[in-house]
């Protein structure tokens, strides 16, 4: 009767159960963020290319990400610093104590909110978060996102087709 959600659901469930303080997940189309949400923990899909994907079985190399799942946003930020190798004023941990003035945040509301299955409360929460971040000094830029599900399927099919033929 329960679902941990997505391919990183075990990682999110382990953090939620207190079995581990942090875990890593892989995310192509929500597999960090969805399990984190369903398990009540924090999940972070980093900017593409920030964290190396060496050793990760690729689903869609142009869209795969590795990121932290943790019990707090601060732990996620510190873990991101470690796995990305970032330090100093560009690190997430350093930024936690800084004002958001000038920080640019892309806001792809339409990609989610235009989905007929999107709950109105989700739309409201997204708009509230964008407004709050803007009030705190961030520059929130509304962006239009491409149709990721179609891109993901094409990239994944090409990736696994190459692997299948390499083994034949």
pLDDT band at 146 (very low <50, low <70, confident <90, very high): low
- Lowest mean pLDDT, pick from 1-15, 32-46, 63-77, 152-166: 152-166
Write down the number of H helices and E strands in the chain.
7, 5
pLDDT band at 104 (very low <50, low <70, confident <90, very high): confident
pLDDT band at 106 (very low <50, low <70, confident <90, very high): confident
Q: Which residues contact 56 (CB under 8 A, 6 or more apart)?
A: 26, 64, 66
Mean pLDDT of 95-122: 78
SS3 at position 92? helix
Statement: the pTM of the whole predicted model exceeds 0.85? no
Give the bridge partners for 162, in sequence order.
none
E-strand spans in the chain? 22-27, 42-43, 65-70, 104-107, 139-142
> Of residues 24 and 101, which shows the higher confidence score?
24
Instruction: Record the tokens describing residue 115, joined without a space.
Output: 């989905």
**pLDDT at residue 22, as a whole number:** 95
């Amino acid at each position: 009767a329960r679902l941990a959600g997505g391919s990183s659901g075990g990682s999110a469930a382990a953090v939620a159960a207190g079995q581990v303080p942090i875990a890593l997940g892989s995310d192509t189309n929500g597999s960090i963020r969805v399990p984190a949400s369903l398990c009540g923990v924090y999940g972070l899909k980093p900017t593409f290319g920030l964290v190396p994907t060496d050793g990760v079985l690729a689903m869609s190399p142009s869209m795969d990400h590795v990121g932290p799942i943790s019990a707090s946003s601060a732990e996620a930020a510190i873990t991101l610093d470690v796995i990305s190798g970032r330090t100093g004023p560009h690190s997430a941990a350093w930024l936690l104590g800084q004002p958001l003035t000038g920080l640019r945040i892309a806001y792809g509301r339409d990609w989610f909110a235009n989905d007929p299955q999107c709950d109105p409360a989700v739309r409201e929460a997204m708009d509230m978060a964008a407004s709050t971040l803007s009030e705190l000094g961030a520059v929130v830029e509304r962006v239009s996102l491409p149709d990721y599900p179609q891109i993901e399927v094409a990239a994944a099919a090409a990736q696994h087709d190459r692997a299948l033929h390499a083994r034949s």
